[in-house]
């Protein structure tokens, strides 16, 4: 399906946001029949942790990471994962999997009574570290992406990996400012896991 942007040509093709840099990953599958894609799951990642700007994240998601290049990578050996999007520290946007397909980002997870969040969610990785803060350019890019996704999919919830896999995952972590994202999107607080009272 091709959805027109308000001011121009098509914004999407087959679940690919055309303005994002496409780096197709082999790590995806079909979504279950009848899946409603209404959840955004926000993550953070850096490889090796805390080092920004390299191409290791892309390599991991495309199964091209050299496991021997860094001691940390040894623990990831053989891992097959992906995310739909990655937002780099400067706000640059990359896409690895069509949003119409199921990417492998959330693992064992549940949100609002539904298990296996990969089935009905879109995964967005922010280049970063769980206990560090994120760049203004990343909030801008994420808010813009949220708006674009909501024009194309019935997005109703935004949660962190830490919310859909509590106790097992901790990203994006306390350094992520949910209120800043809420303000930037203009969406109601109820839509965000991170702005809910605990
Ligand atoms: Zn994560």
Nearest to 28 by CA among 81, 87, 93: 81
pLDDT above 90 for 45: yes
Q: What span, in angstroms and rounded, lies between the C-alpha atoms of 133 and 182?
A: 16
Assign 40 to helix, strand or coil.
strand
Q: How far is the CA of 130 from the centre of ligand 1 (A)?
A: 10
Instruction: Respond yes or no on whether the N-terminal peptide bond of residue 54 is cis (omega within 30° of 0).
Output: no
Query: Count of CB atoms within 10 A of residue 62's CB?
Result: 16
Cite the DSSP H helix spans in 85-127. none
Nearest to 159 by CA among 114, 195, 131, 119: 195
pLDDT above 70 for 4: no
| Catalytic residue (one of 5, 58, 115, 125) | 125
pLDDT in tens, 68-127: 999 999 999 999 999 999 999 999 999 999 999 999 999 999 999 999 999 999 999 999
What pTM was computed for the model? 0.94
pLDDT number for residue 5 = 56
pLDDT number for residue 3 = 53
Structure tokens at 88: 């780099």
Inter-CA distances, 1 with 39, 77, 84, 98, Å: 20, 37, 17, 12
Paired residues of 122 in beta bridges = 40
Tell how strand 16-17 and strand 12-13 pair up.
antiparallel
Q: How far is the CA of 105 from the centre of ligand 1 (A)?
A: 6
Q: How far is the CA of 40 from the centre of ligand 1 (A)?
A: 12
Confidence of residue 10 (pLDDT cuts 50, 70, 90): confident
Per-chain mean pLDDT for the chain = 94
Contact 38, 153 (CB under 8 A): yes
Helix (H) or strand (E) holding 184: helix 178-185
User: Which three-class secondary structure string do you get for 9-28?
Assistant: CECEECCEECCCEECCCCCE
Active-site residue flag, 135: no
pLDDT in tens, 115-163: 999 999 999 999 999 999 999 999 999 999 999 999 999 999 999 999 9
- Within 8 A by CB and 6+ apart from 155, the residues are 37, 38, 39, 40, 122, 146, 149, 191
Q: How far is the CA of 4 from the centre of ligand 1 (A)?
A: 31
């Amino acid at each position: 399906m091709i959805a027109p942007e308000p001011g121009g040509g098509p914004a999407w093709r087959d679940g690919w946001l055309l303005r994002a840099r496409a780096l197709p990953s082999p790590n995806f599958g079909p979504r279950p029949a009848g899946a409603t894609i209404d959840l955004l799951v926000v993550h953070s990642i850096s490889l090796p942790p805390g080092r920004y700007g390299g191409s290791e994240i892309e390599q991991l998601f495309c199964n091209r990471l050299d496991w021997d290049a860094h001691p940390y990578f040894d623990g990831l050996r053989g891992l097959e994962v992906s995310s739909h999007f990655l937002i780099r520290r400067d706000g640059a946007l990359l896409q690895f999997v069509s949003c119409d397909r199921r990417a492998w980002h959330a693992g064992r997870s549940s949100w609002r009574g539904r298990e296996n969040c990969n089935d009905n969610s879109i995964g967005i990785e922010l280049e970063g570290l769980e206990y560090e803060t994120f760049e203004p350019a990343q909030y801008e890019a994420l808010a813009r992406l949220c708006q674009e996704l909501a024009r194309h999919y019935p997005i109703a919830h935004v949660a962190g990996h830490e919310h859909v896999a509590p106790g097992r995952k901790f990203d994006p972590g306390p350094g992520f400012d949910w209120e800043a994202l809420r303000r930037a999107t203009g969406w109601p607080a109820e839509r965000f896991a991170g702005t809910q009272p605990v």
